[in-house]
Structure formats: C-alpha cells, structure tokens
Structure 1
Amino acid sequence: MSTATSTKSPSAGGIAVYNSLKPGAAVPFVTKEDGSVSWYSCGPTVYDLSHMGHARNYVSTDVIRRILMHYFDLKVNFVMNITDVDDKIIIKARRKRLYDLEREKPYSAEERHALATAAFLAYANSNLPLLFEGSDAKLDETNYVARRDAAYGGVLAGGALATTLGDKPGDAEAKTKMHVANMDAAARGLQTGSIFDDAEEILLPYLDSLYKETIDTSDQTMFTDLTKQMEQLFTDDMDALNVLPPDTITRVTEYVPQIVTFIEGIIAKGFAYEANSSVYFDIDAFEKAGNTYARLRPESKNDKALQEEGEGSLSKSLAGKRRPGDFALWKKSKPGEPYWPSPWGDGRPGWHIECSVMASDKLGEQMDIHSGGIDLAFPHHDNELAQSEAFFHRPEVGEHSWVRYFFHMGHLSIAGSKMSKSLKNFQTIQDALATGYTSRSMRIVFMLSRWNDGLEISPDMRKQASSFENTLDNFFTNVKARLAEAGVASSIQKLTLAEAEDKAAVNNNGSGLAGEFEQAKADLDAALRSSFDTPGALQVILRLVRNANVSMSDANADLATIEAVARWVTKIVGVFGLDPNAQPPYESSLGWGPANPTANSAGGGGVVDPKVAVQPYSGVFAKVKGDVAALGLTTETALNTLLAELRPDVEFVALEKEASAAGGQYDIEQLALPFLRAVSQLRDELRRTAVNADNKDKKGAILGLSDRIRDYDLVELGVQLDDQPDRPSLIKFVPVAKLVAAREEKAAAVAEKARLKEEAARAREKAEEEKWAKAKVPPTELFRSNTADFSAWDAEGLPTKLADGSDVPKTQAKRLKKEWDRQKKLHDSYIEKFGSA
C-alpha cells in the first residue's frame, strides 16, 4: 500500500496541552477553523547578556512554535515584545553613567581609598549584615576575610542560611554568594589600590545612592544606547540558537502614547485610580465587578515579596495605594529616571501594562497563546490578565477571557537555585556556545525534558544528548554511504519523503522495518499531541534509528525502506529545529548539516562553481594515481589496468551537465563521488596487491601508501573509508574535525599499546635478571648470610641454631629444607646455562 499520504501535515485536532489557566491534566487545544493561531511571547528585558536560562525559555518556545507550524500545519502569528524601559535598565544605565563620570574625577589615591571604603561598608551593611556581628572592630579590607569565613563560611561551603526553610540551599544562598564575591573583589581592590577595576560592583550602588538625582534624564540616550546594544546581542544569540525570528517585535518605548490611552480606558471603567501622579490598578473594584484576580497563581495573591518584586526596586517610595496588592499602571518618575508626559504628570509605564497594550494592539482582545517563563506567572502575567480583562470588560457580557492558553516554560536551575541575571549565577549563551555546546546539542538537552518542567542540566543529561546526536550522525552517514554504494543516490533526482515512502511501500507487507516505521510515525504523532512531549518524541526516533541500523547490517537490507526512514527522520529533526541549515517543508533532503553552520559551510544544495568545489577531490585522485604509479608495480596487471581505465572526470562532467539542466543546484558530495570511488578502487586494489607481494619492503611500501590515503589524504577532505571484506570500501562523508580526532585517538591508542608493550618487555627483562641473580647463589650460601635469625649451620648451609642459640624447630627446619631444595634446583639450571657461578 502507498504511504505517501502519511507525509501530509496531520490534522491539528486531538492535541492536548498543559494550560496554566487550567492547572492539572492537559486540556484540548482547540484551533480556529482557518488554522490560524495568535501567540504573544514575553520577550527579554534588554539590560545584560542573555544566559542559558533565557535559552531554555526561548528554545523551548521555538520548538513548540515549529511543531504547530511545520508538523500540524497551523498558521502561527508570533508576536514578541522587547522591554526597553524598566527598573533594571534604568538602574544599570544610570549607574554606568555615574561610574564613568566618577572615574574621570582627579582623585588622589587616599581619596579613592576613602570612597571605596565607604562603598565597602555600605554594601556590607545592606547585603551581608552578619559581617558586623561578634566584633566591635570596624570592618575593613584587612579583617574582612576572617569575618567573612566566620559569618558565611557555611554558605560558601554549600550549606544553607539560618533563615532558609529546611536545609537545602536555594536563591537566598546564591544571592549571598554573589554579594560575597563582590566584596571579595572590592577587598582586593582596597588592598592593591585598583579601586575602579576591582570594586566596581560595590561602587555602583553607592554612587547611585549619592548622585542618582543629579543625572539629567531628559537625554534618554544613556538608556537607549544600552537597550539597543543588548537587543542586538539578544537577536544574535537567538540566531545562533536557530530560534525563528518573531513575526512582529514590539518595544515599550514605541508604545508609550498607546499605554497612556489604555490606562485611561481602565480608569474610565472604574478599575484604576490616580494617586500622587501615579495610577494604580484597583483589585477590589475589579473583583467586585465579577472578575477573578490571580487566575494563574491564586495562592500567591497576598505574597508581599512577590508583589514588591513585581512593582520594581524603584517603586518602593510610590505612595497612595489603597490596598497593598494594588499595582502600578503608571509610575511617577523621580529625579534620575526617564519620563514621558501623561495626564497624571511626567512618568513611565508600569511593568505589567506594557505587555497588555502591545499584545492587545497586535492580537486584539483575545489571543490563543501567551507564553513566558514560569517565574512570570505571578505577579506579571496575573496582572497582565487583570488589567487587560478590565480594559475589555463589558458588564452585560460578564468576565472577559483575554488569553485562551497560557504556556509557562520551566526554570533552568543551577545547584537548586534558578539561573538569573540578578543572582549572577548564569552562563551566557555566548560562553556556552564557545565552550562545548552547539545550537543542536543545547536544543537536544532542552528537549530531553518537557517544556513546562523544571530542568537542571546534569552530566548524565549532556551525555544522553551527545549519544542521541552521535547516533543520528552515524545513521545519516551510513545511509547515504549505502545508497551511494548501491548507486541509488543522485544529486539530480532527489526523492521527496512522499516518493521515498511510495518506493518503500512497493515490496513491503507492513512487517519488519516497514512495520516498525509505521508504528514510529504513530507513536511520534501521539507524543506531539500530548502537549508536545519532546522527550517521548526523541525516544521514538532513537528506537526507529536503532531498528534501521540493525536492518542495514543485513547484506540484503531493504534500502528503499531504510531511505524512507532516513528521510522521515530528517523531516522530523528539521521540524524540531535541530538542523540550522534546513528549510521547511524538510522533505527533499536526507540527513542534517553542520550543528553550528557558518557562512563558509558547504554541503546541502546551493549555487556554486562545481569545478572549483570538486578540485580538492580531483586533486587527491591525481595525487594518489601518481603515487601508485610511482611504486613501479609493473607486473601487477589488475592495478595497471585500473590506472589506465579510471576516468572519474568523465562521470563528473556528465553529472555536472545533468545538474545544470536541472536548474544548477549542485550537491558537492555527489559530484565528488566519481573521484572518491576512483581513489577507493585504487586503494582496494593496493590492498589486494599487498597480500601477494613477493618481498617485505614492497609490501610495506604498498600498505604505507594505502594507510596514508585513508588516514590523511581522505581525512583532510572529510571522507572516511570503511574496509569491507569482498566488497568495495564504503565511502562516508564525515566532518573533518571528527575524523582528525578519531585519527589522533587511534594514534594515541597505538602509542599507548607500544608503551605498555615496551614496559612489559622491560619488566620481563628485569624479572629475568633478578631470577638469574638469585640462581647464581649456591644453596650452601643461601642462609649463611642471615646472621640476624641464625647462629649455626651444617655442612650444606642449612641452619641448625637460631640467633639465641636454641635449636631450629622441626617445622621451621622442614620449611628451610624445601627452600634449600628449590634454590639447588635453580642454581643447577644456572650452572647448566652459564657454566659456573
């Protein structure tokens, strides 16, 4: 039966998703009839480099988005905001400006030290109060370390603070370690005089406390310079992680007039009030009108710490709230803060109102999906919901539903505390990609956990992800090599997935690999419908690939079905974003490209000059052909006939013409195959010739050339030859770095084996020397030198008296006689071998 229809995008019906608005079991994901999905994602606050916690959020979001678009064929309109005005941005930009100004002042060394000392004490008092307990002496850089260890040594060793519930360290301990690290650096700076280099983290808040109100914020470039730079770096990071760009990006600073209008609308409906030039949301009025507040996290509704965190560090002095839980929609700007005009005076938007206005502007009064990190659920997302539903509230209709499905991505944590910029316990995305991760390996790690679960990356998880990637790497390489060997792969007539499945369906009856393939498609579909269960999906792929590998090891393997499996796996990993080189619908290629592609990456298809592209391969063929001829094996008929008849250039020209006629899309690997097959044929014939070589030197020269071709000439091209008994060598395209690493590992193993062999030989030689040195001693002299234990011996040298003059006990005498007999036998063999002692 034909399976071509299975490649069509499956129906979006039957999807179940975890929805934070309805906690518990997954609920049906109901889409519009036209298949459109509106989605708003909370984007970054751009004040610092993005870290792995951000990667977890945005990559997981990207995987779900890709599944909806490229697996379920839904039309997703994806909107993401950039928060470019916020307390963190204001503080960082202002402090940087003040810090730069302070560095320019003509301080003496004593004045710099006094400034840093004041900052040192202020920072310790605010953040590490235990440093002041148990001593009346003034804290300074000379006694800091001892007091630090006494006060916080337990935390630094991995313990918990006394104020932490239970004994497991978390965010509070991470923050303490951060403050200690800042104080450590400042103490060093005070001792060495490098104040502005080492004490920056303690100087920033101190200078801000002294001079923040003196900064002229009418010039907002100090803020916009920072946010533009960080937004670009964020975009670069997302590109590096193969995260699809949003369909629309919104920025807070571009929406201030709309925010003011939106707030006016909420006030007009009686759900907000003005006080002291700020505007607050009236939770009590909202609930009395029949609405629900804190729908996502009702248990956090009265959490004062979370409420204060949601208001921002610069909002502590805002006054006029009727109730503690009421939150700011518009904040009166204080000196040192940016401001915009409004009916209530100069001010700036509250944090939560930004997303409400931007999302509503782009997606209307109801969206399908709203997403973000789980840490935003309360108060940010709950406040977004409340103020948006207040704005769209119509008494005659009842409670409004602004969001249909809320997706919250799980935390990425380190040693029990969430990865956070504010805790400074993060690894930036740039550092991660520079020190071991690729966009593919990072994505696989995240996909090994459900998107809504917390995740702490462990060495075992990294190993599991690496195993998955290597398994698929090897599978794609082996399939392409088998197809090339069988002559069924062509750069000209590439099969689509549908065509491959049709081809595979001709001779199968649904059993064996074909049956396993159909089951895998059903299992993967079930996993993706179960709230995008990527761990389950990866296991389905892994199981199918392992089954296909077993099938491929058979001499009579069903290559048609294996090819269909490989093309299907290619499509699915493309859907997941695991191939940064691939483009939808991912159905005309086989395998994935480099994990971190660069502008110079070759491979796949592309418009290139084929003659230039294959020069390295044709060059190696010419070199090998010349070196084989130089061996002078004139009597080897088969080898010389092969040298005369091989014409890979003719086959290449035919392929080039065919590709040109098909539109000029060249697959360099396929165009290189004629030259590689010719090299492989010469090498295979060399190996056969070596078996019958009539002298050792000739055989050594032949095998040396054969090994060089395999281990050096072809490795530098990214080509691996697998020797096969009674069959041509299998040609595989493998990344050069991987082949070089394997070659070096093999060389190291050979060297280690030789070292151990030499070491064993030396040990044997030493043992032999010791054996004959002992054998040289006549048995009559064996015990005579042991005057510490014996005092008399008989004529044959056997002890008769112990050192104290008593007779040697009978049992000991028997043991000594046996030892004497062994020495006699050993000495006799020495005499026999060497003639005399």
Structure 2
Amino acid sequence: MDSIKLHNSLKPGAPVPFVPIEKGKIKWYACGPTVYDQSHLGHARNYVSTDIIRRILIHYFGFDVRFVMNITDVDDKIILRGRRQRLLDDLKKKNLPQPELFELGMAALKAYATNNLPQLVEADGPELDLTNYISRRDAAYGKVLAGGTLTGEGKPGDDEAKLKMHISNMTSAVIAISGNKVFNGAEEILLPYLDSLYKQTIDTSDQSIFTDLTKFMEGEFTDDMDALNVLRPDVITRVTDYVPAIAAFVERIVDKGFAYEAEGSVYFDIAAFERAGNSYAKLRPESRNDKALQEEGEGSLSKSLGGKKGAGDFALWKKSKPGEPYWPSKWGNGRPGWHIECSVMASDILGSRMDIHSGGIDLAFPHHDNEICQSEAYFCEHGHEHTWVNNFLHMGHLSISGSKMSKSLKNFQTIKDALASTYTARSMRIVFLLGKWHDGVEISPDMRTQADNWESLVNNFLTNIKSLLVEATGTTDAITDGTKSLTISDDKHAEGISADLEQAKKDLESALTNSFDTPQAMRVIAEIIRKANVHIIDRKNVLDLPAIEAIARWITKVVGILGLDANASPPYEGLGWASTAAAANIDPHVAVKPYEAVWNAVLSNATALQLPVSETMTGLLSQSPSSPFESLASEGVRDPEQLGLPYLRAVSKLRDELRRIVATVLPETKASILALSDRIRDFDLTNLGVYLDDRPDGQPSLIKFIPASELIAAREEKAAKEAEKTRAKEEAKRAREKADEEKWAKAKVAPEEMFKSDERYSDWDAEGMPIKMKDGSEVPKAQSKKLKKEWDRQKKAHGEYQTKFGGRKA
C-alpha cells in the first residue's frame, strides 16, 4: 500500500505525507455544530465529506480511528435565539391590543432599517413608513436586487447576499404589519428590537431558556446525520458539560503568562505568546489583522467587552452581562469564549497531541488559529513550542449564486427539505464525492446531472450483473466452480478484463492515497464499468461471467466504503445495493409470501387460458418453486430477493413461453395472453421491485431487482405520457372536426349570395358580384378584382359542398 498524502492546512500547497503519532491508530477531533437552528446543505457538505474521509481511513486503509466531535450548546447565537424566543413568547401572552402591536411593529421596522439598511432612513423626504418603503428600497438597493454589487464592480458575494437577506426581512415585515399580522411575518425585525429593549429582564439562572433549544436542535442534527448515512462519532462532547474544566484550563494559561484578566473577562495575550517564541495564526497568517473576522470570532454579544491589550487578543472567558447565562469562576460569573471549548474538550479526550483536527474552511481563522495557540500555550514547557495538531483538514464551502450557504445569510436549504424534495442521501453524497473535499462546491444543474449520470451508470451495471447471475445460476450468490462452465470465454479475453480490474484497483489506491482524491476514484469506477459493459456486449455468447462478477463485487465494496449504501455493513462483501429488508432474524416464509402470491395468481390466470397443449407448457404449469425456496431457507438464506428467486424464475419462464406461442393462438386467446404478460411485468412484479427485461432472439427475460418506488414512478410517468398523448389526439380530432364544420358551413353559401349581406355595397350583378358601393359610386377596379378572386374560391368550395352533401345539410 502506498503511503497516504493529504492536504494539510498547516502546510499549504501540495499534499504532504500523513504519519500517525501511533502506527495504525488515528486520533481525530472534528468541530461539530452550534445547535441553534436546523442544519442545511452547507453543513451536509462538511459532515458528509468528513465522513467519507473517515470511512476510507477505517474501511479501506484499516486504521483504528478515535473520532471525537463537539456540540456547541452555548454561544452568542444560542443566547440570542433562546432569549429572543422567550421575549417573543412573553409578548404574545400579553395579548396587546392591535394599535399597540402596530406601533411596536413600526418601531421595530425603523430600528431594523437603521441598523441594517441605513439608506432607507437616510433618504431625503418624509419619514420611512409602510407606504414609501418599496420606492425607497428600490431607489437605494435596486441594483443589488437586480443582481448587481454594492460597488458596481465584480460579482455579487456574501455582502450582497446579506443585504438581500435584510431586505427580504424588511419586505416580509412591511407586508405583515400592513395586514395587522405582526406575529406572522415580522418576527425577524421584531426579535432584535425586543432584545434591545428587554434583554436585561431575562432571568438567566433558568438556563432552560437555552437548553430547551439546544437539546431539541441537537436531536434534529443527529437525525439529519443519520439520514445522510454519516457514522456517529465515537465520543460527543458538549460545552455545558465542560465549563468547570474550561475555567481551569484558562486559569493555567493565565498562570503561564499567556493570558490576562480585564474587567471580569480573560483574554489571550498574542504578544506574550509570540515573545516566548511561538507562532500565531499558523493557518491563516494573512488574516491575523482582519477586524471583521476577529469580531465575528468574538461574537455579536461581546463587542462591548473592554480591557484588551492588543487588538487581536481574543476572549478565553467572557464576563456575563444581564440576559446571558453564567457560571462561577475566579474572575466572577462568566461563560466560555468560543474557541476555548474545542481546546479543552479535544485535549480531555485525545490528550496533548492529535493526528487530525477538521472543520469547515470558514473556521480556519480565527477559530482554529486561536484553538492552536491557546492549546500550545497550555501544553508548552520551558519555552519549547508544542505541536498540538499534526494535520488540519478543512472542508470546502458549499456555495449558491456565488455566496457560501449559511444560516446567517438565510440563503440555505435545510437537509430535511433537500432530502424531502431534490436529493436522496446517496445522490447528495455523490455530488460531494465528485468534488475534492478541500475545494468549494457550487450548486448547479450540471453538477446534479453529472451525479445522477454516475449513479445511474453504477446502478444499472450492478443490476445487470445480478440479472446475469440469476440467469446463469438461479442465484445472486458467487459463481462456484460447477457453474463456471456455463460461461466459457477464450483465455486471452478473460485475462484482458481481469487485468482491467487489477489496474482499476491500483488506480483507486493511487487516488485515495493522494489526499483522498474521490473525483479520480469515481472516474476509476466509471471506467471499469465502461470496459465491463463493452465486454458484455462484445462477448455475450462467450461471456466471462466470473470476471464480470468480480468487477461488480469490487465496485459494491468500494461504494460501501464510500458510504453510498446505507443498508450495507463492513466488510461490504455483497453484490449490488443491499436490501433494506435483509435481516438475520427475518422469517423466510413471511418474506417470500409476496413472491409466492404473484406466482399463484399468474399460474391460476395462465391455467384458465385456452392454451395449446405442449410438453413445455405442461412442465411450466406444473413447476413447484416451493422446493428450491425451502432449500434456500434451510441453508440460512434470509435475503428476501434470494428467497423470492424460485418464484420469480417460475413466473418469468412461464411468461416467456406465453409470449413465444402468442402468434399461434386464436385472436381472443392472444389478447388475453398479451394482457396477462403486460400485467405481470407492469404491475405484479413492479410492485415487488422486480423488472423483467425482455430480450430479443428468444433469449429469456432478465430478472432485475430495482426499487419498487422507481419502477412505480416510471410506470406512472409512462401512463401519464400515454394519457397526454391520448388527450392530444382527442383535442386534435375535435379541432379537425370543428375546422371541417366551419369549412362546410362557409362552403354551403352560394357564390351568388356571399356578398349580398355585405352593407358596404348597394348593387350587385347577376352573379352576385358587387358593382356599386353604399354611396352609389362604382366599386374600384382593384377592389373588384380582389372580390372576384374571393368569388371564384367560394364557387369552387360550394361545388365541393354540393358534391359531398348533394343538397343535404352539412
């Protein structure tokens, strides 16, 4: 096995060798979620990509991985969300009269505009109100709403996305307040206003204000990760369980001279840390003076904390203000800073050094840089710099319309909504596998199409190979020596397709050792499938089925390792996607009942037909699938697909023979056979998740196991298209009939009479041609010439009418 190289954020550039601290073992800490809202696709990108790497390390490379993840259940966002929700609930309980609610809503609207959309309130003219909001909005921010930028240059980014979010909140509030529905649309502007007025009235000794929210959201996050087939962490840590340990950790950093207390808070002293020979901002040195990132890292509730010596110094412990949760410490009541939690929890479980620390790329600075320096300050001894993390892995952003997907920008789709509408867990994982884990991923139709095509390629191949095995052996079990004689190929070609598999294995290892290059791994899988399909097409009569089966089983193993089959378990030795119903304790007689019922129904229907007597048909009608089924059950088989195969093969063989003789039977029997054949394929078996692939030249149908939902959806789509086709034909027929009716109604009029009712004229000749206008003047020659052409056409049409109807009414 080649040595693994990976992109380590501590060593930018090409992938570097990965050398675990202890051979065969990996200590890994991953930054988990801040649980204040539903998780979105941006979180899925982070945690699914992390899960892919973790699975590869465990199930491909064989490492013993100790995986720890934290849950941030107290920080500024959680405090704000919990506190504001309590204030809103209290307000609703007051049942204020509508005029007071309207006044409150308007005050909140103006405050929100002042803080977030200042051009709305700075504009000349009357004060901002409900009537002039739209015009002011469009005048101030119309260019951004139309897709432009704040500066008028470049492409829209996070700033424009945030602006659009604030405008959306304002617009919703204006609509809600105008309709006297402050609590149904204006919450986003009302909540911060209530918080600014009443936050100090909240009794935070009752921490259920915050814990009720975080416990619920942690459960929602866990459900989302389970739905995405993300392995659960070996250890989960929560900040609120570690507050005393955090205070002690901070105290040691202070004692060592790398932090100081100021006005009840404790700050990390970057200057002192660097004077001792240590490095700060190892991950993002270019960002160390970025004030916007520094402020974001400190949190929105910490802007008023004072006493810092250096502009970049960050809080290890924050003095709690009224309206915030608090814990006792030697510096007074306070709460942990954001960054310190990970240092304490990771070190508690994994010790003073770890192999891997991971998280989203947006955490690199200041969160991870601050984690590193405070942890190294804690562990360093006698002036020697300490290495806390050997490898930092940062997952790339998931972006939409040029902006990262984030809760704060409200430009996200939740994982639950995505799985309920546009994605499956597998299709989402494929999207991430098709991009490198450390690169950004942009949501686009092309990206989805590429992922869908790859999934279809793999799914169709695995389904086809299972079908070929069923045809050759009557089972999807591995081919034994006794069945290899069924599919003999020349030695030269067998070596070729087997050699292709061996090369694919080498190419896969090369991709995975190269910083888990999953896009290349996906290409390797697609290429070996292409070669196998060529072999199947070119060599269908001398197919090397054992070699093709080996390819299918290898692909099954790889997609299992990558987490693409939620129903499969290590070591992924099956063939194709695992059945959801397969279980060791399943009762085989219960599992086989649906297949048995179909066979009994088909047998009864076929027996009732007036079929020509033949030895073949007699044998098929007297089949006994129960005997091979009982053999499978007694051997311990519990896969419903395997157990149902004897009945499916009996149905398929009988249907194939019915289709073969259909041309030789009486018309009424032919209609019955065709109807039964279609029903078996489109309904009886489709509802079981089985598709019969009819093949030409008298070849037996292939039995394919495909999810029933997919087959039923395809059937319904086909029926809908047929119905639409029938409807279109009926509409076209009615249109033709109406056109014919109008045509003959017009043709019924004799040419001598066609102009007599036209009020533009006052005199006509013997043929009914106008000769005088209404005012008595002669009909102009040009007009007369045009009228004569109309008269000639009418004469011809009237003649056709008389010929067709013979004087009868049309």
Following TM superposition, by how much is the alpha carbon of 1:538 offset from its aligned partner in structure 2, in angstroms?
Answer: 0.8
Question: For 2:589 and 2:492, how far apart are their aligned partners in 1?
Answer: 41
Following TM superposition, by how much is the alpha carbon of 1:833 offset from its aligned partner in structure 2, in angstroms?
Answer: 9.7
Correspondence 1:607 to 2:596: no
- CA distances 1:197-220 after superposition (whole Å, capped 9, x unpaired): 332222211111111112111221
**In the superposition, relative to structure 1, how do residues 836 and 124 fare at CA in structure 2: closer, same or farther (>3 Å)?**
closer
Q: SS in structure 1 opposite 2:386?
A: coil
Q: Which residue of 1 aligns with 2:699?
A: 727
Q: Which residue of 1 aligns with 2:160?
A: 173
Q: Which residue of 2 aligns with 1:124?
A: 113
Q: Which residue of 1 aligns with 2:8?
A: 19
Q: SS in structure 1 opposite 2:357?
A: strand
Following TM superposition, by how much is the alpha carbon of 1:760 offset from its aligned partner in structure 2, in angstroms?
Answer: 7.1
Following TM superposition, by how much is the alpha carbon of 1:758 offset from its aligned partner in structure 2, in angstroms?
Answer: 6.2
Question: For 1:453 and 1:100, how far apart are their aligned partners in 2?
Answer: 42
Q: SS in structure 2 opposite 1:351?
A: coil
Identity %: 61
Q: SS in structure 2 opposite 1:577?
A: coil
Following TM superposition, by how much is the alpha carbon of 1:161 offset from its aligned partner in structure 2, in angstroms?
Answer: 1.8
Q: Which residue of 2 aligns with 1:598?
A: none
Following TM superposition, by how much is the alpha carbon of 1:761 offset from its aligned partner in structure 2, in angstroms?
Answer: 7.1
Question: For 2:780 and 2:394, how far apart are their aligned partners in 1?
Answer: 89
Question: For 2:369 and 2:530, how far apart are their aligned partners in 1?
Answer: 46
2:648 alignment partner, one of 671, 676, 700: 676
Following TM superposition, by how much is the alpha carbon of 1:527 offset from its aligned partner in structure 2, in angstroms?
Answer: 1.1
Q: Residue type of the partner of 2:678?
A: D
1:459 alignment partner, one of 432, 445, 459: 445
Correspondence 1:641 to 2:627: no
Correspondence 1:626 to 2:597: no
Q: SS in structure 2 opposite 1:117?
A: helix
Q: Is the 1:39–1:79 contact (alpha carbons within 8 Å) kept by the matching residues of 2?
A: yes
Aligned length: 791
**In the superposition, relative to structure 1, how do residues 252 and 339 fare at CA in structure 2: closer, same or farther (>3 Å)?**
same
Question: For 1:495 and 1:290, how far apart are their aligned partners in 2?
Answer: 67
Q: Is the 1:504–1:560 contact (alpha carbons within 8 Å) kept by the matching residues of 2?
A: no
Question: For 2:656 and 2:473, how far apart are their aligned partners in 1?
Answer: 19
Q: SS in structure 2 opposite 1:731?
A: strand
Q: Which residue of 1 aligns with 2:774?
A: none
Q: Which residue of 2 aligns with 1:135?
A: 124
**In the superposition, relative to structure 1, how do residues 831 and 143 fare at CA in structure 2: closer, same or farther (>3 Å)?**
closer
Q: SS in structure 2 opposite 1:196?
A: coil
> Which stretch has the larger CA shift, 387-396 or 77-86?
387-396
Q: Residue type of the partner of 1:648?
A: P
Following TM superposition, by how much is the alpha carbon of 1:39 offset from its aligned partner in structure 2, in angstroms?
Answer: 0.7
Question: For 2:803 and 2:180, how far apart are their aligned partners in 1?
Answer: 82
- CA distances 1:694-732 after superposition (whole Å, capped 9, x unpaired): 3x2222122112211211111111111112232222111
What is the 5 A alignment of 1:40-59?
Answer: 40-59=29-48
> Which stretch has the larger CA shift, 233-242 or 645-654?
645-654
What is the 5 A alignment of 1:294-309?
Answer: 294-309=281-296
Correspondence 1:154 to 2:127: no
2:176 alignment partner, one of 189, 197, 213: 189
What is the 5 A alignment of 1:712-791?
Answer: 712-725=683-696, 726-754=698-726
Q: Which residue of 2 aligns with 1:77?
A: 66
What is the 5 A alignment of 1:473-492?
Answer: 473-487=459-473, 489=475
Q: Residue type of the partner of 1:631?
A: L
**In the superposition, relative to structure 1, how do residues 76 and 823 fare at CA in structure 2: closer, same or farther (>3 Å)?**
same
**In the superposition, relative to structure 1, how do residues 519 and 505 fare at CA in structure 2: closer, same or farther (>3 Å)?**
farther
Q: Is the 2:475–2:645 contact (alpha carbons within 8 Å) kept by the matching residues of 1?
A: no
**In the superposition, relative to structure 1, how do residues 336 and 15 fare at CA in structure 2: closer, same or farther (>3 Å)?**
same
Correspondence 1:592 to 2:592: no
Question: For 2:577 and 2:361, how far apart are their aligned partners in 1?
Answer: 33
1:654 alignment partner, one of 609, 631, 646: 631
1:399 alignment partner, one of 362, 374, 385: 385
Question: For 2:754 and 2:321, how far apart are their aligned partners in 1?
Answer: 100
1:312 alignment partner, one of 295, 299, 307: 299
Following TM superposition, by how much is the alpha carbon of 1:775 offset from its aligned partner in structure 2, in angstroms?
Answer: 11
**In the superposition, relative to structure 1, how do residues 369 and 362 fare at CA in structure 2: closer, same or farther (>3 Å)?**
same
Correspondence 1:449 to 2:449: no
Following TM superposition, by how much is the alpha carbon of 1:43 offset from its aligned partner in structure 2, in angstroms?
Answer: 0.6
Q: Residue type of the partner of 1:617?
A: Y
Q: Is the 2:149–2:156 contact (alpha carbons within 8 Å) kept by the matching residues of 1?
A: yes
Following TM superposition, by how much is the alpha carbon of 1:239 offset from its aligned partner in structure 2, in angstroms?
Answer: 0.7
Q: Which residue of 2 aligns with 1:5?
A: none
Q: Is the 1:330–1:349 contact (alpha carbons within 8 Å) kept by the matching residues of 2?
A: yes
Q: Which residue of 1 aligns with 2:533?
A: 549
Structure 2 residue runs without a partner (length 5+):
770-777
Q: Which residue of 2 aligns with 1:334?
A: 321
Q: Which residue of 2 aligns with 1:517?
A: 501
- CA distances 1:34-72 after superposition (whole Å, capped 9, x unpaired): 311111101111111111110000000000111111111
Q: Is the 1:412–1:454 contact (alpha carbons within 8 Å) kept by the matching residues of 2?
A: yes
State the Cα RMSD in Å.
3.5
Q: SS in structure 2 opposite 1:728?
A: coil
**In the superposition, relative to structure 1, how do residues 337 and 779 fare at CA in structure 2: closer, same or farther (>3 Å)?**
closer
Q: Is the 1:504–1:564 contact (alpha carbons within 8 Å) kept by the matching residues of 2?
A: no
Correspondence 1:539 to 2:523: yes
1:575 alignment partner, one of 555, 558, 561: 561
Question: For 1:34 and 1:590, how far apart are their aligned partners in 2?
Answer: 33
Q: Which residue of 2 aligns with 1:290?
A: 277
2:201 alignment partner, one of 183, 197, 214: 214
Q: Residue type of the partner of 1:297?
A: R
Following TM superposition, by how much is the alpha carbon of 1:557 offset from its aligned partner in structure 2, in angstroms?
Answer: 1.5
1:344 alignment partner, one of 317, 331, 344: 331
What is the 5 A alignment of 1:808-823?
Answer: none
Question: For 1:392 and 1:546, how far apart are their aligned partners in 2?
Answer: 54
Question: For 2:599 and 2:65, how far apart are their aligned partners in 1?
Answer: 51
1:410 alignment partner, one of 376, 396, 400: 396
Following TM superposition, by how much is the alpha carbon of 1:250 offset from its aligned partner in structure 2, in angstroms?
Answer: 1.0
Q: Which residue of 1 aligns with 2:372?
A: 385
Q: Residue type of the partner of 2:114?
A: N
Following TM superposition, by how much is the alpha carbon of 1:429 offset from its aligned partner in structure 2, in angstroms?
Answer: 0.7
**In the superposition, relative to structure 1, how do residues 510 and 611 fare at CA in structure 2: closer, same or farther (>3 Å)?**
closer
Following TM superposition, by how much is the alpha carbon of 1:97 offset from its aligned partner in structure 2, in angstroms?
Answer: 1.2
Q: Is the 2:474–2:645 contact (alpha carbons within 8 Å) kept by the matching residues of 1?
A: no
Q: Is the 1:722–1:731 contact (alpha carbons within 8 Å) kept by the matching residues of 2?
A: yes
Following TM superposition, by how much is the alpha carbon of 1:748 offset from its aligned partner in structure 2, in angstroms?
Answer: 3.6
- CA distances 1:767-811 after superposition (whole Å, capped 9, x unpaired): 99999999999999999x99x9xxx99x9x9xxxx98669x99xx
Question: For 1:834 and 1:241, how far apart are their aligned partners in 2?
Answer: 72
Q: Residue type of the partner of 1:519?
A: Q
Q: SS in structure 2 opposite 1:620?
A: helix
Q: Is the 2:21–2:355 contact (alpha carbons within 8 Å) kept by the matching residues of 1?
A: no
Correspondence 1:60 to 2:49: yes
Question: For 2:331 and 2:105, how far apart are their aligned partners in 1?
Answer: 40
**In the superposition, relative to structure 1, how do residues 457 and 504 fare at CA in structure 2: closer, same or farther (>3 Å)?**
farther
Q: SS in structure 2 opposite 1:404?
A: strand
Question: For 1:347 and 1:828, how far apart are their aligned partners in 2?
Answer: 103
Q: Residue type of the partner of 2:648?
A: L
> Which stretch has the larger CA shift, 112-121 or 364-373?
112-121
**In the superposition, relative to structure 1, how do residues 213 and 677 fare at CA in structure 2: closer, same or farther (>3 Å)?**
same
Length-normalised TM-score, structure 2: 0.90
Q: Residue type of the partner of 2:283?
A: L
Question: For 1:777 and 1:221, how far apart are their aligned partners in 2?
Answer: 89
> Which stretch has the larger CA shift, 271-280 or 137-146?
137-146
Q: SS in structure 1 opposite 2:441?
A: coil
Q: Is the 1:450–1:534 contact (alpha carbons within 8 Å) kept by the matching residues of 2?
A: yes
Q: SS in structure 1 opposite 2:394?
A: strand
Question: For 1:490 and 1:147, how far apart are their aligned partners in 2?
Answer: 69
> Which stretch has the larger CA shift, 281-290 or 28-37?
28-37
Q: Is the 2:473–2:479 contact (alpha carbons within 8 Å) kept by the matching residues of 1?
A: no
